[in-house]
Amino acid sequence: MAASASGRGQWGSQLGFVLAAAGSAIGLGNIWRFPYVTGQSGGGAFVLVYLCCVVFVALPVMLLEISLGRATQRNPVGALLAVRPGTRWRFLGYLALATGLGILSYYAVIAGKVAAYCASYARALTGGGGADYQGTAGSVVFYFAFFLVLTLAVVAGGVQRGIERWSKILMPLLLVTMLGIIARGLFLPGSLAGVQWFLTPDFSKIDGRVVLAAMAQAFFSLSLGMGAMLTYGSYLSKQQDILRCGAWVVFFDTLVAVLAGLMIFPAVFALGHDPAAGTTLTFQVLPAVFAGMPGGTAIGLLFFFLLGVAALTSTVSLLEVVTAYFVDERSWPRSRAVWAVSAATFVVGIPSAFDLAGHDPFSSLRLLGQQGFLGLMDFVWGNLSLAFGSLMLCLFGIFVWGLPRAAAEIASTSPFFARFSRVWIFFVRWLCPLAIAFILATLFGL
C-alpha cells in the first residue's frame, strides 16, 4: 500500500480500485433487485432501457463522482469543502452520509437474510433437515447484527488491508460461481424460453414507469449519488486513469446484472414460475427452483453464499463512506468510527428487521405510497436520495467546481478522454440533470 502525502490510504494498484469499486456496485442490487424489477417490468424491453440509462446517464455521473474524489482526496463532506471552503454545499456531503447509513440499515437486514439462507442450506447439506428458513424476528435481528459485524471487520482493516484484499479474492470467485450456475440452469428443459424473454425487447412495454424503474435501478446498482464512488476515487493516486476505472466498473456491474438475469430467468421458466413474482423472486422462487433440481441443496448453498459475498463488498463501501468522514474530518481513530457508525446503523435498522420478519412496528403508516418500513427506507434512501444526490452533484459540478476543471482532472491521465471531454461536459450539463429531474418529478407524481 502506498501511503499518500496526507497519510491516507491509497489503492495498491488500479486493479485494486476497480475490484473494490466493482464490489461496491455489484451486490443485492444486481442479483436480487435487478431480476425482480426486470421481471415486473416485462423483460427484454426493460433491459434495453436500463442499458441506455447506464451508458448515457449513470456513466457520465460516475466519472464526475470519481474525479471529484481523486481531485480532492477527501470524503464526501471534505471534498466539497476542499473545492470551496465553508461552502453551504457541504450539506450535500451530510446528505450523502445520511444516505449511506440509511441504505446500510436495511441493506444489511436483507443481506442478513441471505446469510441465514446460507446457514440453513449448509445445515441441510450436512443432513440437518430441510433448507427453508423460518425468519422469526429474533433470528432476523441476529443475522442482521452478524452481517454488520462482518462488514465492520473488513472496514476496520482499512483501505488496502481490508477492502482491497477482500475484493481481490471475492470478486473473481463471484463471477466464476455465477457462470457455473448459469451453465447448470441452461441444461434444464424449457430454459431457453427464459433466455428469450430476458433478451428480446418488446417495445410496446416501454412506458414512463419502465424508464423510471430503469433509471433508479442504474443509480442504485452503480452506487451513485451518495459519495461511495467519490470516497473510493479519493484513494486513487494521481497517476491512475479515471475513465478506464469507471468504464471497467460499469462494465462489470452490468455484466453481473445480465448474468444474474441469465442465472434466474431460464430456471424460472423451465420450472414454470412467475417472473413477475416481485421482491420474493429470489427468496421464495429460487429455493423452490433449487429444490426441483438434482443437487439443488449444494447449488442453493453456492448461490446464497455468492449473494452474501456480493452484498458484503457493497455494505463495506456503505460503511466506508461514513467512516472516512469521521476519520478525515473529525480525526477519530478508524476503529472508533467503525464501531460508532455500526452501532447507530444497528439501531436504525431494527424496524426494518422486524418488518422483514413480518412484524412491522409501523405497519399502519402509509407514507409516499410505500407499504412497510423496509420498503419506505428503500424508496427514500435507495431511490429518492440517490437520484437527488446525483442531480445535486451535477449542479455542484456545473456551478461550483466547474465542469472544464472536472474534465481536465479526468483528461490528465486519459488522452482518449481529452478528445471527447466536450461531449462529456454536454452530458453532465444537460442530459443527466434533465433526465434525473424528470425522474424526481415523476416520483412525486408531478
User: What residues line the site for ligand PFF (CB under 6 A)?
Assistant: 24-25, 27-30, 103, 220-221, 223, 226, 228, 314, 317-318
Whether 106 and 377 have beta carbons less than 8 Å apart is answered as: yes
Q: Closer to ligand PFF by CB, 177 or 191: give it.
A: 177
Q: Say which residues have a Cβ less than 8 Å from residue 272's Cβ, sequence separation at least 6.
A: none
Q: Closer to ligand PFF by CB, 30 or 40: give it.
A: 30
Q: Closer to ligand PFF by CB, 240 or 385: give it.
A: 385
CA distances from 12 to 18, 71, 288 (A): 11, 18, 43
Q: Closer to ligand PFF by CB, 34 or 269: give it.
A: 34
Q: Give which of 424, 425, 417, 423 is closest to 398, Cα–Cα.
A: 425
Closest approach, Cβ 363 to ligand PFF, in A, equals 26
Closest approach, Cβ 433 to ligand PFF, in A, equals 20
Closest approach, Cβ 239 to ligand PFF, in A, equals 25
Q: Closer to ligand PFF by CB, 103 or 268: give it.
A: 103
The rounded distance, in Å, linking the Cα atoms of 231 and 317 is 9
Q: Give which of 405, 396, 394, 415 is closest to 243, Cα–Cα.
A: 415
| Residue showing the smallest CB distance to ligand PFF in the complex | 29
Q: Closer to ligand PFF by CB, 24 or 72: give it.
A: 24
Closest approach, Cβ 318 to ligand PFF, in A, equals 5
The rounded distance, in Å, linking the Cα atoms of 346 and 30 is 24
Closest approach, Cβ 123 to ligand PFF, in A, equals 26
Burial class (CB in 10 A: 0-12, 13-18, 19+), 7: exposed
The rounded distance, in Å, linking the Cα atoms of 410 and 418 is 8
Count of Cβ atoms closer than 10 Å to residue 14 Cβ: 16
Closest approach, Cβ 173 to ligand PFF, in A, equals 17
